[in-house]
Structure formats: structure tokens, C-alpha cells
Chains A and B, each alone.
Chain A
Amino acid sequence: MVSEGEFILKNPVWCPGCGHYAVLTALRRAVVKANLKPEEIVLVTGIGCSSRFTDFFRSYGFHGVHGRALPAAIGIKMANPRLKVIVASGDGDTYAIGMSHFIHAARRNIGITHIVMNNQVYGLTKGQYSPTSVRGFISSTSPKGNLEKPIDGVLLALSAGATYIARGFSGNLDQLIRLIEGGLRHKGYALIDVLSPCVTFNKLNTYEWFKRNILDIEQINHNPSNRLEAFKMILTSSKILIGLIYQSTEETFEDLMMSSIGGVPIDANISLGENNYENLIKEITSI
């Protein structure tokens, strides 16, 4: 059994009170519970406070460019589906610059555990509004209040065909560990959108605000395997739902890929002597 300590590279440094501390702790405990080893995990991040994860979490790591953590993770997963690929990103990375990759990852149902630390503000660039900021939110780029409606990543994921959709809260560590562990054990794309307060730049959506405005879906009678029910819950609830909102079993991209190519790409023998290329040359040249 691997211990939590094996996943500690460095002690994290964020603003004191940042929600991300709890998410990092939850991830470390979830990988232990899911029985994973540091070498078989690739943690992929983009840019933002959330993407500091790769500097603190010990495993193979890939810290790419803003908004593109998912396509890099998809390339890794397709190359070697045996790896456990985790993406840690923020609301800007996922729902603004990287939005299309998020939708396409969901509809591909590729086996990636995607943790979105959603603090409804851009922290690393010091406090601009984000696509999940509420209307009227005051920030350095919305001094008179944000004019745009916020994006609901959970609702989008549900529409796009994601097969594991959960929302956690940094103020509820035990549930967050469970939700991430569930995502790690899930076959296919798993979204865990985490309400992770930014104590420095978001004075509206604070821990106290969340405590008043969230509803734990697991405390009420909800069947997460019913997609229509999940839509209904999200659209009719006056509160922000947390917990496992939807989960289904569907073929994953990597399963379909492996059956179509007859194996795992990383296992392919590429040495010249082991391959018969004569037929290939014939096929391509007989136009």
C-alpha cells in the first residue's frame, strides 16, 4: 500500500485559506484510496493557481500551456491507456480558453479524471472576472459589474455526454475525497467541478456564502444514473448542487481505439525488421 507521503513533492504555497489546499489534500488521499502508484499517474495542468498542482504533487507531471491541458492529457491517454491521467485546472483554463477541449473530451468519453477548481475569478492574474463569475460581479475588468451570465460546467458536461459528473466543495473534504476517488475509478471522462474559494480576489463567493448556497444532492433522494433527472435537478434547484450528480457506464474512447487497432499504441513494435511495409507501399502507391 502506497502512503499519502509518496505523493508529496513539496508543501503547497497558495494564499492562506485558499480552497485549493483542500483539493490537493483530497487528491492525495483519493489516489491512495484508489490504490495508485506515483509512476502510473500523469498529472496534467494548464495555467492558473490551480495548475500549481504539478509543482506540489509527486507523480509524472505535465504542465502545459493555458487552456490546453486536456488535449495534452488526451494524447497521453491514447498513447498509453494503462496510465492514470488526471487533469487539474481552473475555471478560466477549462470554461474560457479551453472550453472546446472540455466539450470534446466529454463527448469522447476518454478516461481522464478532470478536477476543475472553480473559484469564479482569475486569481493568478490578480482578480479579473471569469466565465463562472455571476452577473454583477465586480472585478478589475468588470468595475461596474460583470455583464455576462455565468457558465455552469456541470450542466454543460451533462449536455456534452460526460459519464461521471460531480461537484465538490473545498469546505467538505470527506465528500471531495470520495468524489475524486469515484472519478479515478470511473471508466471514461470524469468531471469533478470543485467550488474552491479564492480568499484574496473573490469577496463574494466565500466559504460562508457557499455554506448558505449549496445543497448536497446526496442528502436528498437523487438517482445519479438518471440523466433526465440530473438535468431537472440542476435546472430547478435554487441552490448550487454538490455531490455525485450523474454517472453512467458507456464505452470509453480508449476501449474503442484498442479494439480498432488491436492493442495499445505504446506496445507497438516499431523496429523495421518486425513490420511488413511492402503491402503498405503497394496500397498507398496504387492510386
Chain B
Amino acid sequence: MFFQLYRRQYNFSLDRKVYSLGILTFLTMGLDLFITIGGRAGDGSFLIGDILAKVFRFIGYDVLTYRDFPSNIRGLPTYYSVRASDKPIYAVKDFIDYLVTFELEAVEYFKRSYSENTVIIYDNSIKDIKDLDVKNYGVPFKRMSISSLGSELFKNTIALGVLTYILGIDEKHVLNILMETFMKMRKDILDKNIKAYRIGREYAIGNIEGREVAIKTIGRGGRLLLNGNEAIALGAIIAGCRFYAGYPITPATEIMELLIMHMPKYQGIAVQAEDEIAAINMIIGASYAGLRAMTATSGPGFSLMTESLSLAGMIEVPIVIVYVQRVGPSTGIATKMEQADTLQALFSGHGEFPRIVLTPGTVEEAFYMTTEAFNLAERIQCPVIVLIDQFIAQNRETVNTLDLSRVRIERGKLITSEVIGDYRRYEITDDGISPRTIPPVKGGIYLANSNEHDEKGYTAENPWIREAMVNKRLRKLEVAKKTLKELFPYKIYGYKDARIAFIGYGSVHGVILEVIERLNSKEPKAKYLQLMYLWPFPSEEINEFIHNTDKIYVIEHNAQGQVSELVKWTTGVGISKILKYDGRAFRPIDVLRVVENG
């Protein structure tokens, strides 16, 4: 144990030597702050983290937040980081600029994330920390809160007062957001928080010599602060989803809570089912009856759903499943990020049937791709999985105003008026997609049949019908391939002719963007292919992309390199895997270190 701590310290000083120069350059390019607020669950660090994020957004900065918290309601350490910059940001920063903490253990926990620019502001109500080789201020947050406001509940807002003074943020902006946040609560809570903020600010004026920075308003307001779960809930309603069934599971629950709150306003119904099996069967039923329907879950819940995923494939009912990955196997770590269910999302379910797996890499992409998921499900008549992970789901970032003119509703071969003549729901067609009626359309009666069936849906076991039906269903994959290429034409970031190639999907998107930006700052040497969908697998795109490269890195948050193996399988060339599976986000430095060591 002691040895490990020692080693960590050693690594930390190594980090500083090698990369401090890079960091300085980074800072001089413009304002780019990484602030971490630490405490125990119940200390209110998330609340002031959110307030801080909103303040930065309001005064015009790009914001990205990162939550590191336990699967627990009170008492365990929770950390909320806010990165704010005047240039676009995509990932967490290598090192912390400001650590504000109510618990001394955070000081140890983040040791590897300090640079010579780091400032620690900690609660010294119980004791002072001696011999800290990082610039630090001890502030009695808890003591001040108890003595002035009668409870330690307000220490977080006091800390906000201290921090925003040090950062030189105009008082009126902080007060604005404080008012907005606490207005919904009781009047005395608002008053006490305003008072707490002032106490913190006064303390800083009297006790902290000089300001560290002076953050200016840069007037780029009007943008949204949104996390992936919120973006997906919004996307679903706007795409016309009017049925949701789900079962609470971290980190996907917020989607259900938001839809239960907002869907009724648009005459839709969102329900909490008795389990995930019920949830997926309910959405299949609702979709059969003509509604755009969705569920959201995480690994354990998706595992329960897989039998009925095959059902949706067999009866060709369009459904959307939002799959928010967390650390597994089994219960794993419910509140942390991982991409270890990727192969489960791609291959689970018995039998062969078409599916589409979309992998948005940002909150903004999560919004637009969710709206498109409903079109794809109805056009191709198959299950569509929107695969993200806890990082995108629960961390807020600034998003440009959502452009509703980019959203379309296309319902494919749906028939809602009387059918004249001989109707065959599973008619063998060239593209494999057949006309779909919904009850009570006259002349449209059919059986949605989990048994192999004939063109009308009635049970059939003849070898020629069986074969024709398998072929018909699988032909839809070809349509999916073509449609996905049109919808999400693949983008290469960096230099087209670069010899170092990166491939990634989902939550590693941001970190790869920063990595190639830094690699290319001196000479053009890196490029990056973001995989926007993983099924049908984009083999052609990958093969084209890796042509004429010396080194191919696939970056993933899992231990075996699941997509790396698929890339190897489709290209037949050697792939270098950069993997992280400790539940925390890649920092650019984690990737750069591997690349620079060859």
C-alpha cells in the first residue's frame, strides 16, 4: 500500500517534468481551466459544480463537466469537475487547476493530477494540511457555515463565493445563477445561500492575497448546457416518440424521469415497468400499435432484454433502445464509465436478424442521432440501439442551440388507411422491407409472429419459406448500410495523409480530438476516424481510412479491445490498442504517453 502511494507520487513528478511545458503553452493560448470540487455525497459539491458550469456558460465559455461519484446516496467521496475554455473543448484536462474540497482525502486522491499551476482550496475546519508542495489555501467552510447560518449545509455555497472571487468572476453573474437555482426552493433557502455566497466572498477578499485570474465575459451566450441523457430525452420527444417504458437503472434513469415528466404534454405516455423484460415487451407492443417507442437501460437491464430484442428482429417491429454502458460485469460499478458491453450491443440475441447500433461521441450528436434512430427503426423496421456510456450520459457540456430544422420524421412503409386487396405484412420485397399496417386499419390484419412465418405472418416451417424469410430480413442490412452512409458520412479529423491513425467511438471521441490536435501542433502526423455507428460494421470506411498508415491505434474504455478486435478482423492488419478500464475518463496525456513511447 505504502509502496503504491510512493509510486504514484513518483509518477506524478514524472508527469510534471515531461509535460509541464505543454501545459504552459496550453494556458497561454487562452483561458482553459479545470476545476474539481470534492466532498462526500451530501456535501453539495454537485450543486455548486452545476452552478459554476452555468456561470461559465452564461459568460460565454465552452464548458464540459465530469462527475466521479459512487453508487451511494450519502457519505462516500464525490467529485465534480468543470472545464471551461474560450476555445472548443472535448475531454477532461490532464491536470487540475483548482481543487476545492470539503474532505482532506481528495488532496491525496488527485495527487497524480497536480501540476505547478494547481491551487488547492480545502476545508481546514478540522485541521490544516502541512507540507503540501502545491499552492494551497485552508478555508474553514464548515465552521463558517455553522457559526453564521446555523448548519454546515451552506459550506458549498460559501466555497463558491471564495472560488469565484479568486477566479475574478463578476459577482452579478454568480448571483444571477444562484437566484435561478434556488428560486424554485423555499425563500429562506434562497436567502441563506445568498448570504453564504457573500460570506465566502468577504472571506476571500480579507484573507486571500490577490486574484489568480480575472475571467471576463466573452459574450457567447445563448448556448445550452446539456448532458447526454437530457439530449436523448429531448431528441426522443422531438422525434415523435410517444411511448416509453423502462426500469430505473444507473446511469440511464434520468431519461425515464425526464420523459415521465415531459412526455404527457405531447400526449405521450412514459411508464415505469415491473422489470426490463416487461419494458421492452411494452415498447414492442406500443410500436406494433403504431407509436414511436423507446426504452433506455444499462448492461444488466439490456441483458434481460435480449430475448425480446430477437423478437423485435423477427416480427420486424421498429424499436429504439438507448444503451448507457457502465462498468461491468454484473453490478460492476454503476456510476462509472466503460465501453465493455459494445460486443453485447452488437451481437446479443439469438438467431440472425438486422439491427443498427449508433455510437454518438458528443452530447450534441446524441441529440441528433436519437432523432434519426426513430427514422431508421421505422424505415428499416428493426431494432436500433443508441449506444453511449456513463461519461456522455451524465456529464454536461455546452451545446450549440439545437437546430430543429435538421430534424426529420420519416416513417417508412407505414400504412394507416384502409388496404384494398390482398395484404401481406411480410411480403418478399427487393429491399427486404415490407408494408406495415397497424390495428385497426381495415384490410390490414396480420399476425406478428415470433415463429418463423409466411408473408401474412402465419406459422410456416417449409424450408423454402424459411430461407426466403431469412434472406428478406437480412437484405434490410444492406439498406441500413447505404442509409447510414448517407446519414452519417464518415469524417476524418486531422491530416488526411497522416501516418498515425486513430480509431474510436463514443466517449473516447473528445479525448482523441485533443490528442491529435496536440500531436499535430508541430507537424502533421495524426488523423482520426470517429465511428458513428458500429452495426452494420463500417468495414469499407475503416479499410479506406487505414490505407497508407504506419500505425493504427484503437482507443477504448474496456480491457480486451472489443472494437480493436473487430477492426483487426475486418482489415487483417496489426492494431495497437490503447485501453482504460478503471472507470475513469482518459486524459489526453494517458493516450499521448502511449503514443510517444511508440
Q: Which of B93-101, B135-143, B162-170, B284-292 contacts A (4 or more CB under 8 A)?
A: B284-292
Question: Are B54 and A287 neighbours in the complex by a CB distance under 8 Å?
Answer: yes
- B402 contacts which of A61, A262, A281, A286 (Cβ < 8 Å)? A281
Q: Does A285 sit at the interface, judged by CB under 8 A?
A: yes
Q: Does A65 sit at the interface, judged by CB under 8 A?
A: yes
Question: Are A55 and B459 neighbours in the complex by a CB distance under 8 Å?
Answer: yes
Question: Are B264 and A262 neighbours in the complex by a CB distance under 8 Å?
Answer: yes
Question: Are B267 and A268 neighbours in the complex by a CB distance under 8 Å?
Answer: yes
Interface flags for A118-132 (1: CB within 8 Å of B; 0: not) read: 000000000000000
B40-64 contacts to A (CB < 8 Å): 50, 54
Known contacts A39-B441, A284-B262, A287-B54: A268-B268 contact under CB 8 Å = yes
- A281 contacts which of B224, B278, B458 (Cβ < 8 Å)? B224
State the Cβ distance, A157 to closest chain B Cβ, in Å.
16
Q: Does A79 sit at the interface, judged by CB under 8 A?
A: yes
- A265 contacts which of B237, B243, B279 (Cβ < 8 Å)? B243
Q: Does B524 sit at the interface, judged by CB under 8 A?
A: no
Q: Which residues of B contact A82 (CB under 8 A)?
A: 440
Question: Are B439 and A80 neighbours in the complex by a CB distance under 8 Å?
Answer: yes
State the Cβ distance, B294 to closest chain A Cβ, in Å.
12
Interface flags for B224-268 (1: CB within 8 Å of A; 0: not) read: 111000100110011010110100000000000010001111111
Q: How far is the CA of A75 from the CA of B288 in the complex (A)?
A: 9
Residue of A37, A63, A77, A262 most packed against chain B (CB within 10 A): A63
Q: Does A59 sit at the interface, judged by CB under 8 A?
A: yes
State the Cβ distance, A174 to closest chain B Cβ, in Å.
29
Question: Are B445 and A74 neighbours in the complex by a CB distance under 8 Å?
Answer: no
Q: Does B175 sit at the interface, judged by CB under 8 A?
A: no
Q: How far is the CA of A42 from the CA of B233 in the complex (A)?
A: 30
B280-315 contacts to A (CB < 8 Å): 281-293, 307-308, 311, 315
Question: Are B274 and A268 neighbours in the complex by a CB distance under 8 Å?
Answer: no
Known contacts A39-B445, A40-B440, A261-B264: A270-B278 contact under CB 8 Å = no
Q: Which residues of B contact A40 (CB under 8 A)?
A: 439-440
Q: How far is the CA of A249 from the CA of B400 in the complex (A)?
A: 52
Question: Are A72 and B451 neighbours in the complex by a CB distance under 8 Å?
Answer: no
- A39 contacts which of B275, B283, B290, B442 (Cβ < 8 Å)? B442
Q: Does B407 sit at the interface, judged by CB under 8 A?
A: yes
Question: Are A75 and B282 neighbours in the complex by a CB distance under 8 Å?
Answer: yes
Residue of B278, B281, B445 most packed against chain A (CB within 10 A): B281
Q: Does A68 sit at the interface, judged by CB under 8 A?
A: yes
Q: Does A78 sit at the interface, judged by CB under 8 A?
A: yes
Closest B residue to A61 by beta carbon equals B447
Q: Which residues of B contact A41 (CB under 8 A)?
A: 439
Question: Are B281 and A284 neighbours in the complex by a CB distance under 8 Å?
Answer: no
Q: Which residues of A contact B291 (CB under 8 A)?
A: 79, 265-266
Q: How far is the CA of A283 from the CA of B230 in the complex (A)?
A: 11
Question: Are B180 and A72 neighbours in the complex by a CB distance under 8 Å?
Answer: no
State the Cβ distance, A48 to closest chain B Cβ, in Å.
12
Interface flags for A243-271 (1: CB within 8 Å of B; 0: not) read: 00000000000000100111111111011
- A75 contacts which of B180, B285, B440 (Cβ < 8 Å)? B285
Question: Are A75 and B238 neighbours in the complex by a CB distance under 8 Å?
Answer: no
Known contacts A42-B439, A83-B289, A270-B240: A64-B311 contact under CB 8 Å = yes
Question: Are B271 and A263 neighbours in the complex by a CB distance under 8 Å?
Answer: no
State the Cβ distance, A151 to closest chain B Cβ, in Å.
18
Q: Does B273 sit at the interface, judged by CB under 8 A?
A: yes
Residue of A42, A65, A80, A271 most packed against chain B (CB within 10 A): A65
Closest B residue to A68 by beta carbon equals B281
Q: By the criterion of a CB under 8 Å from any partner CB, how many residues of chain B are at the interface?
A: 68
Closest A residue to B273 by beta carbon equals A71
State the Cβ distance, A238 to closest chain B Cβ, in Å.
35
Known contacts A63-B451, A262-B267: A75-B54 contact under CB 8 Å = no
Question: Are A71 and B262 neighbours in the complex by a CB distance under 8 Å?
Answer: no
Q: How far is the CA of A286 from the CA of B457 in the complex (A)?
A: 48
Closest A residue to B445 by beta carbon equals A60
Question: Are B440 and A39 neighbours in the complex by a CB distance under 8 Å?
Answer: yes
Q: How far is the CA of A63 from the CA of B447 in the complex (A)?
A: 7
- B258 contacts which of A42, A47, A284 (Cβ < 8 Å)? A284
Q: Which residues of B contact A267 (CB under 8 A)?
A: 267
Residue of A62, A284, A287 most packed against chain B (CB within 10 A): A62
Q: Does A100 sit at the interface, judged by CB under 8 A?
A: yes
Closest A residue to B283 by beta carbon equals A75
Question: Are B281 and A261 neighbours in the complex by a CB distance under 8 Å?
Answer: no
Q: How far is the CA of A270 from the CA of B441 in the complex (A)?
A: 19
Question: Are B289 and A76 neighbours in the complex by a CB distance under 8 Å?
Answer: yes
Closest B residue to A257 by beta carbon equals B269
Q: Which residues of B contact A266 (CB under 8 A)?
A: 242, 289-291
Question: Are A72 and B288 neighbours in the complex by a CB distance under 8 Å?
Answer: yes
Known contacts A75-B243, A104-B274: A62-B288 contact under CB 8 Å = yes
Known contacts A39-B441, A62-B288, A72-B284: A287-B293 contact under CB 8 Å = no
Q: How far is the CA of A77 from the CA of B404 in the complex (A)?
A: 31
Q: Does A11 sit at the interface, judged by CB under 8 A?
A: no
Question: Are B447 and A75 neighbours in the complex by a CB distance under 8 Å?
Answer: no
- A78 contacts which of B50, B271, B407 (Cβ < 8 Å)? B271
State the Cβ distance, B411 to closest chain A Cβ, in Å.
9
Q: How far is the CA of A73 from the CA of B286 in the complex (A)?
A: 8
Q: How far is the CA of A72 from the CA of B312 in the complex (A)?
A: 11
State the Cβ distance, A27 to closest chain B Cβ, in Å.
16
- B311 contacts which of A9, A65, A285 (Cβ < 8 Å)? A65
Closest B residue to A286 by beta carbon equals B180
- B266 contacts which of A38, A61, A79, A275 (Cβ < 8 Å)? A275
State the Cβ distance, B469 to closest chain A Cβ, in Å.
15
Q: Does B396 sit at the interface, judged by CB under 8 A?
A: yes
Question: Are B308 and A61 neighbours in the complex by a CB distance under 8 Å?
Answer: no
A4-52 contacts to B (CB < 8 Å): 9-10, 37-42, 44, 47
Q: Which residues of A contact B512 (CB under 8 A)?
A: none
Closest B residue to A44 by beta carbon equals B285
Closest A residue to B258 by beta carbon equals A284
Q: Which residues of A contact B242 (CB under 8 A)?
A: 79, 265-266, 268, 270
Question: Are A68 and B278 neighbours in the complex by a CB distance under 8 Å?
Answer: yes
Q: Does B277 sit at the interface, judged by CB under 8 A?
A: yes
Question: Are A75 and B262 neighbours in the complex by a CB distance under 8 Å?
Answer: no
Q: Which residues of B contact A (CB under 8 A)?
A: 50, 54, 180, 224-226, 230, 233-234, 237-238, 240, 242-243, 245, 258, 262-269, 271, 273-275, 277-279, 281-293, 307-308, 311, 315, 396, 402, 404, 407, 409, 439-442, 444-451, 457-459
Give 13 CB contacts A-B under 8 Å: A38-B445, A39-B445, A47-B450, A54-B447, A58-B445, A61-B445, A75-B282, A79-B285, A264-B267, A265-B242, A280-B265, A284-B226, A287-B396
Excluding A65-B307, A263-B267, A270-B240, 9 further A-B contacts by CB distance (< 8 Å) are A47-B450, A62-B447, A68-B277, A68-B278, A76-B439, A79-B243, A104-B274, A265-B269, A271-B240
**Across the A-B interface, the 8 shortest Cβ-Cβ residue pairs:** A75-B285, A270-B240, A75-B282, A268-B267, A71-B281, A61-B447, A79-B289, A72-B285
Q: Which residues of A contact B (CB under 8 A)?
A: 9-10, 37-42, 44, 47, 54-55, 58-65, 68, 71-80, 82-83, 100-101, 104, 257, 260-268, 270-272, 275, 277, 280-281, 283-287
